[in-house]
Amino acid sequence: MKSCLLFKLIVGVIILFLTNGLSFSDENSRDFSNLPVKGIVTMIDLGAKKCIPCKMMAPILEKMEKIYRDKAAIVFIDVWENREQAERFGIDAIPTQIFFNQEGKEVQRHVGFMSETEIMAQLKNMGID
Q: Could you list the active site residues?
A: 51, 54
First to last CA, the chain: 36
User: Which residue type is seen at 122?
Assistant: Q
CB 104 within 8 A of CB 38: yes
Pairing of strands 72-78, 41-47: parallel
d(CA 100, CA 105): 5
Q: What are phi and psi of 109, to 5 degrees?
A: -135, 135
